[in-house]
């Protein structure tokens, strides 16, 4: 009887341990720093190859697996050329830990304030993809029409920099105050558009943030086509929720292909 009770307690404790750990967060934070940074470099190449960061202006970041108040970005360099030597560590105040004489992106405050506001976020993509710009400047919401973009249900909120920065900014989120306002506009969403500028996609892993950025661009292009043809039938709430459940497995398949293409099309790592 006593043995049976002990066994039952062991089973209950194992069950409690199993359900109290979010599987996605575990998958990412159990990676070593070297693994995280290798994935970060590859992800930069993928974002360039997929035209999400087509020039020298967009950027990716990943939260430190060791310190939740720090994250990694490359020095100010085109994503398609980023190597391990370009990686810099930054804190959530936007301060470089060890600049090594290098400069990083002025818009690092986008990343810093999103990490501060969203403990669930482990990676952030900042993109200037032209496909999303129309949805930030016309009032037409970016809602999901492709089943791979069910996460856009909401629809994606739009950050208006004039609300926080007034009528005369250079449109760049280059202070902590502007970063805070942007993170507030993002709220719990996976994507926030920036009027006349671009968008940011966040995720619980590099792969999720990168795939959300790629499918945000794809959905924006598809929706623009659909709007030209007539009235649009969007994904409904239940369809979007169901696709979200299976998306992560599908992302792995896409990731493999994006990796092969990026390695073939960008300079050697």
* CA nearest to 106, candidates 62, 69, 76: 76
Question: Helices marked H in the chain — which ranges?
Answer: 2-19, 23-29, 33-49, 108-117, 133-137, 161-165, 176-186, 206-229, 237-265
The single residue listed with the structure tokens 């292909």 is: 257
Give dist(CA 122, CA 209) in Å, integer: 8
Among 39, 89, 107, 113, the active-site one is 107
In whole angstroms, give the CA distance from residue 92 to residue 70: 6
Which of 89, 30, 80 lies closest to 62, judged by CA? 89
Strand partners, 73: 88
Closest C-alpha among 72, 78, 133, 75 to residue 106? 75
In whole angstroms, give the CA distance from residue 69 to residue 67.
Answer: 5
Q: 85 an active-site residue?
A: no
Count of C-beta atoms within a 10 Å radius of residue 97: 13
Residue in this structure with the two tokens 């830990």, named with its chain if needed: 97
- What is the rounded CA–CA span in Å between residue 4 and residue 116? 47
Catalytic residues: 107
């Amino acid at each position: 009887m006593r043995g049976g009770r002990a066994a039952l307690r062991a089973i209950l404790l194992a069950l409690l341990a199993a359900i109290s750990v979010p599987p996605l967060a575990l998958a990412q934070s159990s990676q070593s720093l070297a693994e995280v940074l290798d994935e970060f470099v590859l992800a930069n190449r993928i974002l360039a190859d997929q035209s999400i960061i087509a020039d020298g202006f967009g950027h990716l970041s990943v939260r430190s697996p060791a310190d939740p108040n720090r994250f990694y970005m490359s020095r100010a360099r085109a994503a398609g050329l980023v190597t391990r030597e370009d990686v810099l560590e930054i804190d959530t105040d936007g301060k470089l830990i060890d600049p090594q004489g290098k400069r990083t992106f002025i818009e690092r405050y986008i990343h810093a304030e999103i990490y501060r506001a969203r403990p669930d976020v482990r990676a952030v993509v900042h993109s200037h993809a032209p496909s999303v710009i129309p949805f930030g400047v016309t009032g037409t919401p970016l809602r999901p029409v492709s089943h791979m973009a069910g996460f856009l249900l909401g629809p994606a909120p739009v950050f208006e920099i004039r609300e926080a920065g007034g009528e005369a900014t250079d449109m760049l989120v280059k202070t902590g105050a502007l970063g805070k306002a942007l993170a507030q506009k993002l709220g719990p969403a996976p994507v926030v558009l920036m009027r006349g500028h671009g968008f940011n996609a966040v995720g619980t892993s590099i792969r999720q943030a990168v795939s959300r950025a790629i499918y945000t661009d794809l959905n924006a292009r598809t929706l623009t086509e659909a709007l030209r043809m007539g009235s649009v039938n969007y994904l409904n709430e239940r369809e979007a929720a169901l696709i979200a459940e299976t998306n992560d497995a599908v992302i792995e398949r896409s990731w493999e292909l994006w990796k092969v293409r990026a390695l073939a099309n960008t300079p050697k790592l």
